[in-house]
Amino acid sequence: VYGSTHGSICRQICVFWQFKFGSGIPVKSGSSISNYFCAISVNLDHLVSGSALLRVSAMGREFKVYLNGDKVWCCRVCKTHLCDHDDRVSKKFHGRTGDAFLFKSVTNVIDGKTKEKQLTTGVHVIIDVHCTSCHGRLGWRYAEAYEPSQKYKEGMTLLEKALMVKTLNS
């Protein structure tokens, strides 16, 4: 995000950060917030849910979101937090590697290719999702469903069970 909206998005992120974590994002004194970040990528639709898909890069370093739920699903390879167990909508899905779960909110993922694909429940437009840390493929997000009975999936993410591990926070 660059240009005139850059500062506005930065301010929104600071407000969210302060709301979520109780403190502001550290900024060097004398520098404006919009000059502090090299790049910002944020999906504002997920800021409300508490498990934000928020990726901030400052000085080339990427910051991860850590979830504090009791049970958290993580990337099997690098253990990066992906989603809270309570955000699972269904466990009756099937992915490329076997069993998969449908989640209403995920974090620490980046989008891959968008494609139209014939799945068992009809034709969908899906976007592959990958781990932000190790870039391993995790599943896909439903961008669009053509069948009226499948519209509930739009915006939700399917993560494959074989590519994740569940951890218990204590």
Percent of the chain with pLDDT over 70: 63
Radius of gyration of the chain (CA): 17
Provide the mean pLDDT of the chain: 76
pLDDT at site 59: 53
Indicate if the pLDDT at residue 92 is higher than 80. yes
Cα separation, 2 vs 9, whole angstroms: 9
More confident residue, 47 or 145: 145
pLDDT at site 62: 67
User: CB of 80 within 8 A of CB of 108?
Assistant: yes
pLDDT at site 39: 39
Cα separation, 32 vs 7, whole angstroms: 9
Taking only the tens place, the pLDDT of each residue in 47-64 is: 333 444 444 455 556 678
Q: Which of 99, 98, 87 is nearest to 157 (CA)?
A: 87
pLDDT at site 169: 78
User: CB of 109 within 8 A of CB of 132?
Assistant: yes
